[in-house]
Amino acid sequence: MERVGGDVVVQQGAAADTPYLRVHQERGYTVLEFHGEIDIVAAAEIAPHLDHVTAGPSPRIVLDLGAIDFFDCSGLRLLYRARGRVLAHGGHVHLVCTHPLALRVLRATGLSRLLPPAPTLDAALAQAEAASGSW
């Protein structure tokens, strides 16, 4: 991880990307883009990366579920963990999700009230900008 112009840049490659996760920067936010089947195997691989990007002060995170095929309680635990860590460090977290099963799980558990899903990355970042007043 390095700082470039005030933004934290997570190195691409083996340190940040896995078959289940791509980490990149977008408008001052670290985007964790989940891919494929988010189950216990994927969660074990994603968790260290999630912990890494949520460890510093005031993390600005978007959890993007736009490219998932499957989502179970392991994925739900990742979202709860990310939200808790980001808020504990005084940061901001947003969620992108349109997957029907994941949305149903989010609603059934109440996480959709704590972490309202946006339909696209642009919509999540627009929510973030509106909340911070930095249009």
The DSSP letter of residue 11 is P
Are the C-beta atoms of 33 and 61 separated by less than 8 Å? no
Strand 92-96 and strand 60-71: the pairing is parallel
DSSP secondary-structure letter at 48? H
pLDDT at 127: 86
What would the two tokens of residue 81 be?
């963990």
**Residue 70 structure tokens:** 């499957």
Contact in structure between 87 and 57 (CB atoms under 8 Å) = no
Specify whether domain 2-132 bears CATH 3.30.1360.10.
no
Q: What is the largest CA-CA distance in the chain?
A: 41
pLDDT tens for each residue of the chain, 135 residues long: 443 444 444 444 334 678 999 999 999 999 999 999 999 999 999 999 999 999 999 999 999 999 999 999 999 999 999 999 999 999 999 999 999 999 999 999 999 999 999 999 999 999 877 766 543
pTM of structure = 0.84
Domain boundaries defined on the chain? 2-132
